[in-house]
């Protein structure tokens, strides 16, 4: 006996309300892109741009953040940011930019200098909790690898979806060859990794459209939707983008894809079973309603774990949990309101 959160036979008109969902998604995407442009890029953490992060605890409750900034500035130390990092304690995260020599050697002794300045001025009332140091060159390499990891995960998803749902493994292999060729030619012009990936995504969408990869096109647009909104909300909140955040993004991609596959499987089954009896819009709506209980159960139980991690996992895990919460919420929304209705729009376009 299966657990049903939604009563069998319920028929919520998801497809009929798709344009309202598209409007909500459009506004979220616009806000995300606007925030990234407004902030002139993302707030990259020490993992990606290099530099030094020091997490300190003040034992004197009367010392303010401005006092810490003044002490370090007068001591000749440039600070990128100083963030309140504690929960009920006077704990701060000091971010110091990398040196211009691109070697990272300056950061080796910088931690001792910072602690010396603070303890000298405040009377040994500062405790070093955590230290992270990454050289600029290493940070650049990590940034490139993170971008490639996200892109190649999406690429493999396209190939899997097109092969599984549309039985076009040969076309999928051809698609991969085309994409690799385009990226190789573009790389000869010395373009940056970010630019190459944007070009690759555009080529991917065009190729999916030309080769009629209906399910793959819906999946890739939903995944791009989820990633952009998650990154955009982090930009709006001015949160740091770190390797932990990239791990969260990859988790979100897998989670969102799983939701989409469940719905797509049911759509494919109903298309075979109800062939000629109902139109495509009715079939898609029926399929989404039939999988709604599973979607709610999966999302609900996962969210319970994520919320527990946010409140009980400590400050270090909060950004990871927050990214998962945002991404899984948006991913569940996109699986129901974006990926499936896109199949309907695609079929209408083919008929037209």
Q: Give a yes or no: residue 231 inside a domain.
A: yes
State whether 150 and 117 are in the same domain. no
Average pLDDT over residues 4-20: 77
Is residue 94 within 8 A of residue 79, CB to CB? The reply is: yes
Q: CA nearest 41: which of 178, 188, 194, 177?
A: 194
pLDDT at residue 280, rounded to an integer: 80
Banded pLDDT at 351 (limits 50, 70, 90):
very low
Banded pLDDT at 132 (limits 50, 70, 90):
confident
DSSP letters for 282-306: HHHHHHHHHTHHHHHHHHHHHHHHH
Q: Residue 122 belongs to a domain with what CATH number? A: 3.30.70.2040
State whether 152 and 270 are in the same domain. yes
pLDDT for residue 215 is more than 60: yes
Q: Give a yes or no: residue 272 inside a domain.
A: yes
Q: Residue 279 belongs to a domain with what CATH number? A: 1.20.1640.10
Q: Give a yes or no: residue 209 inside a domain.
A: no
**Percent of the chain surpassing pLDDT 90:** 14
Residues 169 and 82: their CA atoms lie apart, in Å, by 52
State whether 113 and 60 are in the same domain. yes
205: exposed, middle or buried (Cβ count in 10 Å: 0-12, 13-18, 19+): middle
Q: Give a yes or no: residue 222 inside a domain.
A: yes
State whether 158 and 289 are in the same domain. yes
Average pLDDT over residues 265-287: 82
**60 or 319: which leads in pLDDT:** 319
Residues 207 and 182: their CA atoms lie apart, in Å, by 12
Beta strand residue intervals within the chain, DSSP E: 51-58, 81-84, 91-96, 126-134
pLDDT for residue 68 is more than 60: yes
Q: Give a yes or no: residue 185 inside a domain.
A: no
State whether 220 and 284 are in the same domain. yes
Residue ending a domain, among 84, 108, 134, is: 134
State whether 241 and 347 are in the same domain. yes
Q: What is the pTM of this model?
A: 0.81
State whether 125 and 147 are in the same domain. no
Residue ending a domain, among 134, 156, 190, is: 134
Domain total of the chain: 2
Q: Give a yes or no: residue 177 inside a domain.
A: no
Q: State the residue range of the domain holding 258.
A: 18-45+138-168+214-351
Is residue 222 within 8 A of residue 335, CB to CB? The reply is: yes
Residue ending a domain, among 89, 116, 134, is: 134
State whether 123 and 253 are in the same domain. no
pLDDT for residue 1 is more than 80: no
Q: Give a yes or no: residue 174 inside a domain.
A: no
Residue with tokens 């990869």: 213
Q: Which of 21-25, 249-253, 273-277 has the lowest mean pLDDT?
A: 273-277
β-strands 81-84, 126-134 pairing: unpaired
Q: Model confidence over 19-48: pLDDT tens digits?
A: 899 999 999 999 999 999 998 888 887 777
Q: Give a yes or no: residue 297 inside a domain.
A: yes
Q: Model confidence over 154-206: pLDDT tens digits?
A: 777 777 777 777 666 777 777 777 777 777 777 777 777 677 777 777 877 78
Q: What phi and psi, each to the nearest 5 degrees, are found at residue 243? A: -60, -35
Beta bridge partners, 132, equal 53
**162 or 108: which leads in pLDDT:** 162
State whether 40 and 71 are in the same domain. no
Residues 10 and 286: their CA atoms lie apart, in Å, by 9
State whether 233 and 130 are in the same domain. no
Average pLDDT over residues 49-61: 80
State whether 245 and 159 are in the same domain. yes
Buried b (16+ CB within 10 A) or exposed e, 288-307: bbbbbbbbeebbeeeeeebe
State whether 320 and 273 are in the same domain. yes
């Amino acid at each position: 006996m299966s657990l049903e959160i939604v009563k069998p036979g319920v028929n919520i008109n998801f497809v009929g309300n798709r344009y309202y969902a598209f409007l909500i998604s459009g506004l979220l995407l616009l806000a995300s892109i606007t925030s990234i442009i407004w902030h002139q890029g993302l707030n990259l953490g020490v993992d990606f741009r290099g530099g030094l992060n020091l997490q300190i605890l003040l034992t004197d409750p009367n010392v303010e953040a401005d006092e810490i900034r003044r002490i370090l500035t007068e001591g000749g130390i440039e600070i990128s940011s100083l963030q309140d990092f504690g929960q009920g304690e006077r704990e701060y995260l000091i971010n110091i930019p990398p040196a211009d020599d691109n070697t990272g050697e300056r950061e080796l002794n910088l931690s001792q200098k910072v602690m010396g300045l603070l303890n000298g001025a405040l009377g040994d009332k500062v405790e070093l909790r955590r230290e992270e140091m990454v050289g600029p060159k290493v940070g650049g390499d990590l940034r490139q690898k993170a971008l490639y990891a996200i892109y190649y995960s999406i690429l493999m998803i396209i190939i899997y979806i097109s092969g599984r749902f549309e039985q076009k493994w040969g076309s999928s292999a051809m698609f991969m060859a085309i994409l690799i060729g385009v990226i190789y030619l573009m790389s000869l012009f010395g373009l940056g990794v970010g630019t190459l990936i944007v070009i690759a995504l555009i080529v991917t969408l065009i190729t999916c459209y030309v080769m009629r990869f209906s399910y793959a096109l819906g999946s890739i647009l939903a995944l791009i939707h989820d990633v952009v909104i998650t990154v955009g909300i982090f930009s709006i909140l001015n949160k740091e983008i770190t390797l932990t955040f990239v791990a969260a993004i990859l988790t979100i991609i897998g989670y969102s894809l799983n939701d989409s596959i469940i719905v797509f499987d049911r759509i494919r089954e109903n298309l075979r079973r109800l062939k000629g009896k109902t139109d495509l819009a009715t079939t898609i709506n029926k399929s989404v309603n039939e999988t709604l209980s599973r979607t709610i159960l999966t999302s609900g139980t996962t969210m319970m774990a994520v919320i527990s991690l946010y409140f009980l996992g400590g400050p270090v895990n909060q950004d990871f949990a927050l990214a998962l919460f945002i991404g899984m919420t948006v991913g569940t929304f996109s699986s129901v309101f974006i990926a499936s209705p896109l199949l309907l729009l695609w079929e209408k376009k083919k008929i037209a």
